[in-house]
Amino acid sequence: MKRIGKQTIEFENAPSVIGHGAVGGRKEAGGPLGADFDQTFEDTTLNTDSWEKAEAQLQKEAVAVALASAGCRAEEVDFIFAGDLLNQCISSTFGLRGYGMPYLGQYGACSTMAQTLLMAAVMVDSGAADRAAAVTSSHFCSAERQFRTPLEYGAQRTPTAQWTATASGSVIVGKGGRVRIQRALAGKIVDLGVKDPANMGAAMAPAAADSICQFLEDTHQRPQDFDGIFTGDLGAVGSQLMLDALKGEGLDLTTVHQDCGLMLYYREAQDVHAGGSGCGCSASVLCGHLLRQMEKGELKKILFCATGALMSTTSQQQGESIPGVCHIVQLEG
Amino acid sequence: MKRIGKQTIEFENAPSVIGHGAVGGRKEAGGPLGADFDQTFEDTTLNTDSWEKAEAQLQKEAVAVALASAGCRAEEVDFIFAGDLLNQCISSTFGLRGYGMPYLGQYGACSTMAQTLLMAAVMVDSGAADRAAAVTSSHFCSAERQFRTPLEYGAQRTPTAQWTATASGSVIVGKGGRVRIQRALAGKIVDLGVKDPANMGAAMAPAAADSICQFLEDTHQRPQDFDGIFTGDLGAVGSQLMLDALKGEGLDLTTVHQDCGLMLYYREAQDVHAGGSGCGCSASVLCGHLLRQMEKGELKKILFCATGALMSTTSQQQGESIPGVCHIVQLEG
């Protein structure tokens, strides 16, 4: 590994994706990427007796699929990096406790998929691991009742609000896979003072702009060098703000940018307002759709830029703004 | 870096502690290690208007001290690994957002100091970073009201309960420091079914025994090869359980083992029941007391084995048991 520019690391020993899995709920199955999920569940309780247990089960299933696609057993994975949105990251703990993998919990809110993938690649590239796993999840019902209101209230959502995906994605990183992990950037916390928890896209957009700008500068690349620059999950409002901010820096991403939150659902027909969100959104878009596209050769070189809003209900109640972060991983087929 | 045995990594490029800082509250100042803190605060609100903001401030102060002792500026730190016990790790986010360091949030409950130190060492050893920081915190008042009852209730505590430390510890890892980070182990999630949240020591002891046993086996070392094996924080109940479990494996740690939770306070006089706990407990014992002892040559070779209970109030309410984890870092002066 070596550092390039101010903030980017370049992998030198070709860590790559040797297995991946994406699982989701009924709504995700009915979206435009439904066919790219390895498994979807019509009953989003997954036969458990709570939404939190259902979310843990999603992680367990995603890792099982990823392990199977890598053709390896849990005991052959040297580290698992996992995280989610629930308090104390319980979806990860309870979903993964049965696997017996050395466990390093991560918290990056909705940026967690990029963070766990970055860390897994670091471990493999450095020789600390032969194989390392990354996984994250979210569940609409567990997130709503923890962060917003009980589902039974039937609260109205604002047009800027995003829909937390019921989904999980997992990657097994090793050597010899078809998609290589080439570079990565860990983002800084960026806080421009947005306080509206129903407009997370706006809160995270400045961090996305900051990280993407820095990454392109560090690596001397231009937006058009990529087949796609995928943010996750800025939604409609945040995406536009990010594009505007980058235009101010002389970077035009309009032709290469897509947002995982805008890819996962039929926005109007599925009534998701500004788009999808949640750790599981960008995770399942990456692990289901994007990696499949790369393996088919339909995408060659992409940036996966996952964004997170680092707030809690307590910080909101105490009048704090919503700090954002964006971590980036460069993948090449 | 290379893997040794089943689960241990060995650093090959001599990452070391180039700076450290420990800050604490009034109770910690009055304990046996009070003189080893870099700074303590008589007013544990730290002039903020909430306990959560006070805890964030503790992290900010600990990092400031660590940076000063390393003689470097925030901009010279390539990554910061940080975590805490609060929902969505807000002490870390809000405490560190002003530093502008690339930020990777960690969640390992009270094991977070070992986890962040392990990650920082990985980054420096692999060449991904010249300098990387590790920090974690806890605050008695923010933890009590989040995990247990409002302080105003004056709830009685059981004899097995531990006292969450109001403290934070930070390390700057780089090259050329006096204390080297030699090896590390990321623990597995171990869950033997303990369900009592007022007896975290019992819940975490099996994980500590599992990790220590594996580490000694992987590295072909014996307990007496160390000047100290420091767990954090099993307290009185958990420590005894761990010693008993290891004795069953033919390992006698009685002469070298100490627990950070039993070192931080005068247990009887300060009425902490089974001992201290919280991310800030083992962090401040390491960053205040132990690293000072190592720099003075009073301790040469130690294991720092931080333990975490990976539960939440929600998992408790849903009848789940309390999974434990224990991460280990081997340090040598």
Q: Nearest CA of chain A to the CA of B30: how many Å?
A: 30
H helix intervals, chain B = 26-29, 51-70, 90-96, 112-126, 140-147, 200-219, 235-248, 260-263, 279-284, 291-295, 313-317
Q: Going by C-beta distance under 8 Å and a sequence separation of 6 or more, which residues neighbour residue B10?
A: B1, B2, B3, B4, B182, B183, B219
Residue pair B20/B169 in contact (Cβ under 8 Å)? The answer is yes
Binary contact (A83, B107; C-beta < 8 A): yes
Q: B89 to chain A: nearest residue by CA?
A: A107
Residue-level pLDDT at A273? 96
Contact B104 A103 (CB under 8 A): no
- A156 burial level (CB within 10 Å; 0-12, 13-18, 19+): exposed
pLDDT digits (tens, 9 = 90+) for A109-154: 999 999 999 999 999 999 999 999 999 999 999 999 999 999 999 8
Residue whose token pair is 């470097």? B72
pLDDT of residue B62: 98
Of B50, B97, B106, the CB nearest to A323: B97
Nearest chain A residue (CA) to B315: A90
- Number of H-type helices and E-type strands within chain A: 11, 15
> What pLDDT is attached to residue B245?
98
CA distance B243 to B181: 25
What are the structural domains, with CATH classification, of chain A? 13-175 (3.40.47.40), 179-332 (3.40.47.40)
Residues paired with A308 in a beta bridge? A325
For position B254, what pLDDT does the model report? Answer: 97
Contact between residue B25 and residue B204 where contact means Cβ atoms under 8 Å apart: no
**Whole-number Å distance between alpha carbons of B112 and A104:** 9
State phi, psi for B92 to the nearest 5 degrees.
-70, -50
With 0-12 / 13-18 / 19 or more C-beta atoms within 10 angstroms meaning exposed / middle / buried, residue B223 is middle
* Beta bridge partners of residue B83, listed in sequence order: B136
Cα B74 versus chain centre, distance: 22
**CA–CA separation, B329 vs B260, rounded Å?**
14
Query: How many A/B residue pairs have CB atoms within 8 Å?
Result: 176
Q: What percent of chain B has pLDDT over 70?
A: 100
Residue with tokens 């964006």: A326
- For chain B, the straight-line distance linking the first and the last C-alpha, in angstroms and rounded, comes to 20
Check A312 against B109: CB less than 8 A apart: no
For chain B, the 3-state helix, strand and coil shares in percent, each to the nearest 5, are 40, 25, 35
Say how far apart CA A233 and CA A208 lie, in whole Å.
Answer: 10
Per-residue confidence (pLDDT) for residue A238, from 0 to 100: 98
Max Cα–Cα distance, chain B, nearest Å: 52
Query: Tokens at residue B324, please?
Result: 């434990």
> CA-to-CA distance for B224 and B247, rounded, in angstroms?
14
Q: Which helix (H) or strand (E) holds A65?
A: helix A51-70
Taking a C-beta distance cutoff of 8 angstroms, is the pair A138, B120 a contact?
Answer: no
Q: Considering only the beta carbons, identify the residue of A3, A129, A315 that sits closest to B128.
A: A3
From chain A, the residues in CB contact with B320 under 8 A are 90, 94
CA atoms of A86 and A144, how far apart (whole Å) = 10
Distance, in Å, from the CA atom of B80 to the CA atom of B171, rounded to the nearest integer, reads 10
The answer for A209, left when phi > 0, alpha when psi is -120 to 50, beta otherwise, is alpha
In chain A, which residues have their Cβ closer than 8 Å to the Cβ of B96?
Answer: 189
Q: What is the mean pLDDT of chain B?
A: 97
- Check if the beta carbon of residue A59 is closer than 8 Å to that of residue A82: yes
Threshold 0.95, pTM exceeds: yes
What is the predicted pLDDT for the residue at A310? 97
DSSP state of A103: E
Which of A12, A103, A148 should we substitute to test contact with B (largest number of B Cβ atoms within 10 Å)?
A103
Residue A129: both structure tokens together: 């691991």
pLDDT for residue B182: 98
What DSSP string runs through A168-217? Answer: EEEEEEEES-SEEEEEEEPPBPB------TT-HHHHHHHHHHHHHHHHHH
Residue of B76, B104, B329 to mutate for A, most A C-beta atoms under 10 A: B104
**Which of the 8 DSSP states describes residue A311?**
-
CB B121 within 8 A of CB B181: yes
**CB–CB contact A88 B107 (8 Å):** yes
Please state, for a pLDDT cut of 90, what percent of chain A lies above it.
Answer: 99
Q: Compute the nearest-CA separation of B307 from chain A (Å).
A: 12
Q: Under a CB-based contact definition with an 8 Å cutoff, are residues A66 and A21 in contact?
A: yes
Reported residue count of chain A is 333
- Say what the pLDDT of residue B50 is: 98
Amino acid identity, residue B125? D
Cβ atoms of B66 and B137 within 8 Å: the answer is no
Task: Indicate yes or no: CB of B185 within 8 angstroms of CB of A102.
Answer: yes
Closest CA to A102 of A119, A81, A87, A120: A81
Which portions of chain A are predicted below pLDDT 70? none
Q: Which of A94, A128, A189 has the CB atom closest to B93's CB atom?
A: A189
- Which of A9, A106, A128 is nearest residue B107 as measured by Cβ atoms? A106
| Contact across the interface for A107 and B109, Cβ inside 8 Å | no
Look at residue A267 in the predicted model and tell me its pLDDT: 96
**In contact, B117 and B181? CB cutoff 8 Å:** yes
Across the interface, whether the CB atoms of A88 and B83 are under 8 A apart is answered no
What kind and span of H or E run contains A96?
helix A90-96
- Residue given tokens 């596209």 in the structure block: A293
- Round the average pLDDT of chain A to a whole number and report it: 97
Q: Which helix or strand (DSSP H or E) is residue B332 part of?
A: strand B324-332
CA distance A269 to chain B (A): 32
pLDDT digits (tens, 9 = 90+) for B177-222: 999 999 999 999 999 999 999 999 999 999 999 999 999 999 999 9
For residues B291 and B21, give the distance between their C-alpha atoms in angstroms, rounded to a whole number: 10
Q: CA quadruple A174, A176, A179, A180: dihedral positive or negative?
A: positive
Nearest to A108 by CA among B112, B324, B331, B104: B104
- Nearest-Cα distance to chain B for A32, in Å, is 31
Backbone angles phi, psi at A57, to 5 degrees: -65, -35
CB-nearest to B100 from A2, A85, A188 is A188
How high is the pLDDT of residue B113?
Answer: 98
Contact A52 B310 (CB under 8 A): no
Residue with tokens 């009742």, as numbered in its chain? A145
Residue A10, φ and ψ in degrees, nearest 5: -115, 130
Strand partners, A183: A10, A330
DSSP letter for each residue of A142-166: HHHHHHS--GGG-----TT--EEP-
**Which among B104, B126, B318 has CB closest to A53?**
B318
Q: What's the CA gap between A12 and A125, in Å, rounded?
A: 7
- Would you tell me the crossing angle of helices B140-147 and B51-70 to the nearest 10 degrees? 140
Dihedral angle sign, alpha carbons of residues A265, A270, A275, A278: negative
Measure the CA–CA gap between B253 and B215, rounded to whole angstroms. 14
Mutation choice for A interface testing from B4, B13, B107, B125 by most A CBs within 10 A = B107
φ, ψ (nearest 5 deg) of residue A126 = -80, -10
pLDDT at A302: 98
Count of helix runs (H) and strand runs (E) in chain B: 11, 15
What would the two tokens of residue B100 be?
A: 């502008």
Give me the residues of chain B with pLDDT under 70, please: none
